[in-house]
């Protein structure tokens, strides 16, 4: 069964944390996987600050969802 999640500025952090847990990962493991896949060196603290402050970029969201096995789809309401 396919599930859909509505992403808005108020639930980005909660959604990413929920999907990470659902996929059997921790945020630490997620960040390690992102750094490995995309040849990055930024920290978990950097990611959590961006999620908390709402300053995460779309490109970073795409990376996160890709590592978790999801795709980002934009659909007209």
For residue 70, pLDDT over 50 is answered with yes
Quick: pLDDT tens for 15-60.
999 999 999 999 999 999 999 999 999 999 999 999 999 999 999 9
- CA distances 24 to 18, 27, 28, 30, 50, Å, are 10, 10, 12, 10, 22
pTM above 0.85, yes or no: yes
């Amino acid at each position: 069964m396919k599930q859909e999640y509505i992403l808005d500025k108020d639930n980005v952090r909660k959604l990413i944390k929920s999907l990470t847990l659902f996929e059997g990962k921790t945020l630490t493991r997620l960040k390690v996987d992102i750094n490995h896949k995309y040849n990055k060196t930024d920290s978990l603290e950097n990611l959590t600050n961006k999620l908390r402050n709402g300053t995460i970029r779309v490109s970073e969201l795409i990376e996160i969802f890709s590592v978790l096995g999801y795709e980002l789809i934009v659909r007209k309401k």
